[in-house]
Amino acid sequence: EALGALGVVVWPMVEFEADDALAAAAVMAAADDRVDQVIVCTPDKDLAQSVRGDRIVQLDRRTREVRNESMVRQKFGVPPPSIPDWLALVGDSADGYPGLPGWGARSAATVLARYQHLEQIPKLATEWDVSVRGAMRLAATLVEQRERVLLFRELATLRTDAPIGADVDALRWMGPRADFAAWAERLGTPALHQRASILAAARG
């Protein structure tokens, strides 16, 4: 409610998560010719799958690093569309799934850089045309835990059909509502209302 009073667009979600909304908003904004570039401000690994060339980039607020598609490849070893597969193998503690035993960031990157997606990885390590330490064990684990890893990938895959509205203009910040002053007082930051009002006036 406080964010709404500040004038920030809030998306109530039932079947979707916050990362789905961010991914959906990025796709919607990138499709608008008036938008020069979309910057997704989060360090979360799963949002790297939303990066598209230099059109949609990711800003890691902790390191201040901006990652375009080539930098996503450099950091993870795979292109953005393979990020859900990479996370399924490696795991993501932030989202609560552990990945597969034995699979690490390097082995997952090496295999997925060649095969792109889980379904395209040969079941037998003898059929792999990439060199990975412990390949026999990794291949066996992938076969034995196939249903599990596919579930992890589903959890890691962001949905871009979240109901966030159909227009980028709806995302525009128009400044705080009249009731934000009361919210700022309740939050113990009365100066925040004045700062927000000044910023809105400068933008308008």
Short-list 91, 79, 168, 87, CA closest to 67: 79
- State whether 115 and 189 are in the same domain: no
- State whether 131 and 183 are in the same domain: no
- State whether 139 and 153 are in the same domain: yes
Residue 38, pLDDT > 80, answer yes
Q: Mean of the pLDDT values across residues 166-182?
A: 90
- Give the pLDDT confidence score for residue 43 in this predicted structure: 93
- State whether 153 and 57 are in the same domain: yes
Give the mean pLDDT of the chain. 95
45-85 per-position pLDDT tens digit = 999 999 999 999 999 989 999 999 999 999 999 999 999 99
- State whether 32 and 45 are in the same domain: yes
- State whether 128 and 204 are in the same domain: no
- State whether 157 and 168 are in the same domain: no
- State whether 93 and 187 are in the same domain: no
Please count the structural domains in the chain.
2
Token pair for 139? 């291949």
70-123 per-position pLDDT tens digit = 999 999 999 999 999 999 999 998 888 999 999 999 999 999 999 999 999 999
pTM value is 0.88
Which pLDDT band holds residue 204 (cuts at 50, 70, 90)?
Answer: low
Which pLDDT band holds residue 172 (cuts at 50, 70, 90)?
Answer: confident
Domain span including residue 178: 1-15+163-204
Instruction: For the beta carbon of residue 156, count every other beta carbon within 10 angstroms.
Output: 24
Short-list 128, 160, 180, CA closest to 26: 160
Instruction: For the beta carbon of residue 194, count every other beta carbon within 10 angstroms.
Output: 12
- State whether 149 and 85 are in the same domain: yes
- Give the pLDDT confidence score for residue 25 in this predicted structure: 95
